[in-house]
Amino acid sequence: MSYEKAKEAAEFIKSRYSKPVKVAVVLGSGLGAFADYATDSVRIPYDEIPHFARSTVEGHAGQMVLGEIEGIPVAIQQGRFHYYEGYEMEQVVFPIRTFGLLGIKSLILTNAAGSIRTSNRPGTLLLIRDHINLIGVNPLRGANDERFGPRFPDMTEVYCKQYQKIASEEAEKLMKERVEKGLEKEFRRILRRGVYCALPGPTYETPAEVRMLRLLGADAVGMSTVPEAITAKHMGMKILGISCLANMAAGIDEGFINHQEVMEMGREIAEIFNELLKRIIVKIGELEGFQNFAEKTV
Ligand code: HPA
């Protein structure tokens, strides 16, 4: 049933935006402003798209933005569905299924996360090289629909190595340029690599849980992304994941964690994050041969 529903959603989106979309981007808490970079854009609130849920969290706009980034047609999910909001996993990952049936093979997942490593201060970005799923459920549980993908998907390389290389190179170039332009005092590595661990939320972690996560090998902790990554991998997509480290995870620094702080950090880093994301999409476009797709229609 989910396949037919996703097909319906994809057909609806195509009826509103006829260009062949090649890259999808999911924007995390506080990172929604990237959607404003899309030109010639069409905005579709989730409640207009067949079978889409609605996002309820502050900082998540709840719309699909279709437009171009430097001539590459993209679909941007401005606001995602989290398991903690009470949705079924099927609803959480439904947009990813829809992207897949739109023919999208490249997916960029972003989120806000807590940093577990003291050397990665808030305001750094984390290139996700792998994940740990501690949500306690898997979106692929239940009957498998072979039209989406295999029963037992391999998870050895969820996050595409080629895309990771592009992201690292672009981050380094961008920061060097910012130093040259006087926007940074000195060069700093804005994009670190690490392991993202997803918990169900909605509580932030206890300090004891954070110590446990560190022992498990996690560098960042959050409440999203992993279900979407699993679903995208199931469909054979190439995935890039980037966390915006919004705060130190509980118990590392003095003080407490709150959602406002997470949102503010997203906004603070937005300028660098948005520019980096744009450059990464251009490079993915070059790698995959997506340039000039905007002139075509489906
Ligand atoms: N923990 C879990 N999720 C988060 C955090 C955190 O510290 N910060 C932003 N999202």
Q: What is the pLDDT of residues 103-122, one digit of tens each?
A: 999 999 999 999 999 999 99
Q: Which CATH superfamily is domain 3-141+151-297 in?
A: Nucleoside phosphorylase domain (3.40.50.1580)
CB 213 near ligand 1, within 6 Å: no
Q: How confident is the model at residue 41 (pLDDT cuts 50, 70, 90)?
A: very high
Averaged confidence pLDDT in the chain: 92
72-78 and 63-69: which strand pairing? antiparallel
Asked about 4 being catalytic, the answer comes back as no
Catalytic residue among 33, 61, 259, 274: 259
pLDDT score recorded for residue 291: 73
Asked about 234 being catalytic, the answer comes back as no
pLDDT score recorded for residue 188: 86
Asked about 112 being catalytic, the answer comes back as yes
CB 262 near ligand 1, within 6 Å: yes
pLDDT score recorded for residue 58: 59
Asked about 223 being catalytic, the answer comes back as yes
> Are 225 and 196 contacting, i.e. CB atoms less than 8 angstroms apart?
yes
The pLDDT of 53-67, averaged and rounded, is 75
This prediction has a pTM of: 0.94
pLDDT score recorded for residue 60: 53
CB 113 near ligand 1, within 6 Å: yes
Q: Is pLDDT of 295 > 80?
A: no
Q: Is pLDDT of 57 > 80?
A: no
Q: Give the tokens for residue 234.
A: 């199931």
> Are 259 and 234 contacting, i.e. CB atoms less than 8 angstroms apart?
no
The pLDDT of 174-198, averaged and rounded, is 92
Using one digit for the tens of pLDDT, what is the confidence trace for 213-262? 999 999 999 999 999 999 999 999 999 999 999 999 999 988 888 888 87
Asked about 82 being catalytic, the answer comes back as yes
CB 230 near ligand 1, within 6 Å: no
Q: Is pLDDT of 269 > 80?
A: yes
pLDDT score recorded for residue 263: 81
> Are 228 and 242 contacting, i.e. CB atoms less than 8 angstroms apart?
no
Domain ranges across the chain: 3-141+151-297
Collapsed DSSP state (helix, strand, coil) of residue 81: coil
pLDDT score recorded for residue 90: 94
294 CA distance to ligand 1 middle (Å): 37
**Exposed, middle or buried by CB within 10 Å (0-12, 13-18, 19+), for 183?**
exposed
79 CA distance to ligand 1 middle (Å): 16
pLDDT score recorded for residue 289: 86
274 CA distance to ligand 1 middle (Å): 20
Q: How confident is the model at residue 132 (pLDDT cuts 50, 70, 90)?
A: very high
Using one digit for the tens of pLDDT, what is the confidence trace for 147-176? 999 999 999 999 999 999 999 999 999 999
Asked about 29 being catalytic, the answer comes back as yes
CB 204 near ligand 1, within 6 Å: yes
Q: Give the tokens for residue 147.
A: 């039209």
113 CA distance to ligand 1 middle (Å): 4
Gap between the Cα atoms of 142 and 158, Å rounded: 21
